[in-house]
Amino acid sequence: MSNMNFSKAYCKNCYKCLRSCPVKAIKFENEQATIDEERCIECGHCLTICPQNAREIKSDVGVVKLAINSGKKIIASLAPSFAGYFDVEQGRVVAALKKLGFSIIEETAVGAEIVADLYNNYIVENKRDVYITTACPSANYLVEKYFKEIIPYLIPVVSPMIAHGKLLKEKFGEDSFIVFIGPCLAKKSEFEYFLKDNVINAVLTFDELNSWITEAGIKIHELEEENFNVNPYSKGQGFPMGGGIIEAMGSELKQSSLSVITVSGMEECIEVFNSIKNGDLKDVLIEASACKGSCIGGPVMVKNGENYYTKLRKVKNYIKSRKNYNDPINTEVPTNINFNRKFTEKSIKRAIATEEEIIAIMKKMGKYELIDELNCGVCGYNSCREKAQAVFEGMAETNMCLHYMRTKAESLSNEIVENTASNLILLDGEMNVREMNPAAKAIFKIQSQNIIGKPISLLIDDTDFKNVRESGENIIGKKVAYPQYGVVFIENIVYLQKQDMVLASMINIMTEEKNKKELMKVKENTLNAAQEVIEKQMRVAQEIASLLGETTAETKIILTKLKKIVAGEDVE
């Protein structure tokens, strides 16, 4: 399919996409989410909820532009749900399409009416315990990939998009260029399935169309309203709404002995499909839609900002207004066009881990005992064992367990803080002690319960801490002495602005200070000894001056240099 995926983004371990995916078709590798085509049912909701807006959707706008420039007859099949997406009068949307270069604009509802009649015919001619509508491609993919047992219950009829495409090709010729425009991402892969039949030549979402209108500089609110090239009121206009298919099937369905069940949303579809699989449902017609609220609740519609009920009201009002047309045309099913289709099993081949392999993976996730299995679902999987199976299949990573990673990080940081020789003190904005590591508590000879939450000024002067917080300028490498504790610190104090906290790392250099004093004593004693040697040598030199002569001066110079060397002075 390859029509949609996540773009490269900084995944922040939220796993919202995976939690939203009912079939867990999202793979994580190096903390980057990607969609696994083989498992995906193309509902598209994972892309719409990504907080990074990291989505790549294959666009056919360029293909349509090329077709327009080539002089082909460009025909739009516009899904009725457009009335809920665009915040303008419906005639202005038609006008915008014509301004972009479309020759003919019809509603996909024409195809939907054909499909409704074909559903009725199929039910009359074929005895089944269960019938499942097939207008929703994502619901069809769900059955083909995950519920192979109920494939025979899928009504083998094309969707309204394909049905309308076949009608348009018959009407305007094989050379016409048919573009479906709607709210569904899965339609992009559905049209590719029928590509060899030359039924639909391109698919655009409402988002793509809206962006194209803006890019072309068309001010849609200022356009004169125009009518569809064919303006029938069609019972197929209700297809985008929950229960709309059943309503479109009309009296013929009502006269049958079938019960009807409308389900929208992938979780509801899975539940009812499981019931069918288990044999719990008999003599029913299932209207199945992958999106909550049917097509009006689809991913493209949701991203438009308005809530579902606002869009539903707009579509209902639009359909109601269409009833006022004076030239309603009821479309009959053409006998020279084949509207049948086949559904085939596309089950996922999965490698199942052994119990030993699951246990080994669980241990890598920090799950050693049953109590460690929180089954919280934060990672996107319903249980820790399910997540371990996903790791085995290469769909997930062990570090996707946030509780484990948090425990691991806290444990590591605690080990570092608890065992560091530096004296660490964390203060809040009021200069009260929030944390103090063991080294600091040992220096100040105090227990946590006696200082946590109390002012640091009870222990030491807080002037430096206050200055850092108020000025925002950190103190690095300042030497301070606290004789009452017998320590000399090199203090580093930083202000954590986001947390409004002050962190101090204070290194005790008392030992080094003592060593420095001892060294100074050694130097002083050496200097005194050198001075005595010089004085004694001078006395001897004076006594034997006549014998040594100028040698005495040289000796003085040498001894003076020795003195400077001991004192640590430069010797020229």
Asked if 187 and 161 touch (Cβ cutoff 8 Å), the reply is: yes
Mean pLDDT is lowest, of 31-40, 213-222, 560-569, for 560-569
The residue-averaged pLDDT of 412-440 equals 82
Instruction: Give CA–CA dist 484/80, Å, rounded.
Output: 83
Q: Pinpoint the alpha helices (H) of 255-303.
A: 266-277, 299-302
* Residue 5 or residue 164, greater confidence: 164
pLDDT value for 53: 81
pLDDT digits (tens, 9 = 90+) for 309-321: 888 898 888 888 7
pLDDT digits (tens, 9 = 90+) for 521-538: 655 665 565 566 566 666
Q: Report whether pLDDT(223) > 80.
A: yes
Domain locations along the chain = 59-322, 350-419, 423-508, 522-567
The residue-averaged pLDDT of 234-263 equals 88
- C-alpha distances (whole Å) from 14 to each of 33, 229, 302 are 11, 48, 20
Mean pLDDT is lowest, of 27-36, 114-123, 285-294, 314-323, for 314-323
The band of 9, judged by pLDDT with boundaries at 50, 70 and 90, is confident
pLDDT value for 526: 56
Predicted TM-score (pTM) of this structure? 0.74
Cβ neighbours of 443 (radius 10 Å): 19
Asked if 472 and 494 touch (Cβ cutoff 8 Å), the reply is: no
pLDDT digits (tens, 9 = 90+) for 158-170: 999 999 999 999 9
* Residue 509 or residue 140, greater confidence: 140
pLDDT value for 510: 79
Asked if 323 and 272 touch (Cβ cutoff 8 Å), the reply is: no
pLDDT value for 339: 95
Q: What is the mean pLDDT of the chain?
A: 86
**CATH top-level class of 423-508:** alpha beta
pLDDT value for 361: 93
| Pick from 259, 279, 263: nearest CA to 271 | 263
- C-alpha distances (whole Å) from 550 to each of 140, 228, 541, 557, 558 are 114, 123, 10, 11, 13
- Which of 1.10.15, 3.40.50, 1.10.3470, 1.10.287 would CATH assign to domain 350-419? 1.10.15
The residue-averaged pLDDT of 331-350 equals 90
pLDDT digits (tens, 9 = 90+) for 454-472: 999 999 999 999 999 999 9
Write phi, then psi, for 487 (nearest 5 degrees): -135, 155
pLDDT value for 297: 87
Reported as type and span, the H/E element at residue 172 is: helix 160-172
pLDDT value for 183: 92
The residue-averaged pLDDT of 100-105 equals 96
Mean pLDDT is lowest, of 4-8, 102-106, 175-179, 271-275, for 4-8
The band of 62, judged by pLDDT with boundaries at 50, 70 and 90, is very high
Q: Report whether pLDDT(273) > 70.
A: yes
pLDDT digits (tens, 9 = 90+) for 365-388: 888 888 888 888 888 899 999 999
Query: Going by C-beta distance under 8 Å and a sequence separation of 6 or more, which residues neighbour residue 410?
Result: none
The residue-averaged pLDDT of 443-456 equals 89
- C-alpha distances (whole Å) from 549 to each of 370, 531, 532 are 98, 22, 22
- C-alpha distances (whole Å) from 106 to each of 111, 232, 233, 280, 482 are 10, 10, 12, 41, 87
Q: Report whether pLDDT(519) > 70.
A: no
pLDDT value for 326: 45
The band of 298, judged by pLDDT with boundaries at 50, 70 and 90, is confident
pLDDT digits (tens, 9 = 90+) for 548-572: 455 556 656 665 665 665 566 665 5
The residue-averaged pLDDT of 76-88 equals 92
Write phi, then psi, for 275 (nearest 5 degrees): -65, -40
Q: Report whether pLDDT(408) > 50.
A: yes
Range with the largest mean pLDDT of 45-59, 81-95, 292-306? 81-95
